[in-house]
């Protein structure tokens, strides 16, 4: 069995969810909710949305957890994680949450209008269209990534996901 190249396991860009850097978090959530990927007959939901500038250049990516972080109330997002954990380490009557639920929804709606560029991560690494799967694995692991943009002649043409690379490895092992 011959080793695969990045382009053989990538999802083409036109089939992968992406947004403008000016998109609001609400739009990114909508794109994630309506996107479903079918790779090799296996369906999955995207964990990451690519972010492009107005000239079509890839400028970042946003993960589910980045969106959730961006939707956190200001009093939580501005504090260290240790402080935030302590806030939820108390026993509270669950009925109290119902009293302020409308206030929580109102704040969530406002924060959903934040631009995705506030929470996106910069692109730290890419792979070439013809790179060997071993290089793809190295870059995913070395950079602690679950997705790599695939570049051909300087332009992003798709993405390779760690789940698809693991599937290829499984085909070799099992």
pLDDT classification of 80: cutoffs 50, 70, 90: confident
What pLDDT is attached to residue 75?
Answer: 74
What pLDDT is attached to residue 98?
Answer: 61
Residue 90 has pLDDT above 80, yes or no: no
How much is the average pLDDT of 7-23?
A: 95
Tokens 């690519």 correspond to 50
Q: How many CB atoms lie within 10 A of CB 118?
A: 13
Q: What share of the chain in percent tops pLDDT 90?
A: 69
Residue 105 has pLDDT above 90, yes or no: no
Q: Where are the alpha helices (DSSP H) in 35-161?
A: 64-71, 74-77, 81-87, 94-99, 101-111, 133-142
């Amino acid at each position: 069995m011959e080793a695969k190249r990045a382009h053989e396991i990538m999802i083409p860009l036109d089939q992968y969810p992406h947004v403008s850097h000016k998109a609001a978090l609400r739009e990114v959530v909508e794109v994630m909710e309506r996107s479903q990927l079918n790779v090799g007959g296996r369906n999955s939901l995207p964990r990451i949305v690519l972010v492009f500038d107005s000239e079509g250049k890839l400028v970042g990516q946003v993960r589910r957890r980045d969106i959730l972080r961006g939707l956190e109330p200001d009093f939580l997002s501005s504090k260290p994680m240790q402080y935030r954990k302590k806030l939820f380490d108390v026993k509270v009557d669950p009925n109290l949450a119902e009293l302020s639920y409308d206030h929580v929804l109102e704040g969530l709606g406002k924060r959903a209008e934040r631009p995705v560029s506030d929470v996106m991560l910069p692109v730290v690494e890419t792979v070439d269209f013809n790179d060997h799967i071993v290089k793809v694995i190295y870059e995913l692991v070395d950079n602690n990534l679950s997705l790599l943009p695939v570049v051909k002649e300087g332009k992003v043409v798709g993405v390779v996901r760690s789940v698809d690379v693991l599937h290829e490895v499984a085909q070799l092992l099992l």
